Amino acid sequence: MSKPPQQTRKSYPLSPRRKLLLLAVVAAICSTPMALIFGSIISGEGSLGAVGFILLLVTSPFSILLLVAAFRTRLSVDERGLNARGTVGMSSVGVAWDEIQALRLEPGSEGAILKAPLEGKGSKMMKLFAGAAFRGVSLYSPEVQQLITEGRFLPLEAFTWWFQKGDLRSAIEKYCPRVLTGSDTA
């Protein structure tokens, strides 16, 4: 009897802290409508339950989107390259090792710098948010903004925990060490 071929693909879910944050936001969103519904049951006041139910219906799509983001986002690493699911407009993006120029591992702006622009609706959506800011502070450095505008940046900050405390860095180094140094020679 022959052995089945060994799987070489390594898969990484969303960083635990980010997943916990998304779940906490979902809990916060759902707590008010659920409190109103349970308050209606306890007090017998039907209007509280109706308001709670309407609020739950209104907030459910956003809660479901956050849950999908928390559990669907994944990065796979294998001999072919990187496959990021849920990081670029909730779509899947596969990038071969020879398409990656370098890996940017600066905290808060981790990502793959690509040789050629990404195609697809996820990339177009990212370009719309390249200059996004929160209270006047840009989410991305000018260099990363430029790469996003050019479509040459695959964000990986959702997997920071695996770079810092897991084996994601060594998994990438196993298949393509040149991307960690930024050199263009394989």
Instruction: Report how far residue 90's alpha carbon sits from residue 61's, in angstroms, rounded to the nearest whole number.
Output: 15
pLDDT at 61: 92
Residues in the chain: 186
pLDDT at 93: 82
Gap between the terminal Cα atoms of the chain: 38
Confidence category of residue 26, pLDDT binned at 50, 70, 90: very high
Q: Is the pLDDT of residue 122 over 60?
A: yes
Confidence category of residue 86, pLDDT binned at 50, 70, 90: confident
Domain positions in the chain are: 11-72, 98-181
pLDDT at 51: 92
| Residue 59 CA: distances (Å) to CA of 21, 29, 31, 49, 89 | 17, 7, 11, 15, 21
**45-61 pLDDT, tens per residue?**
888 889 999 999 999 99
Total-model pTM? 0.75
| 2-7: average pLDDT | 54
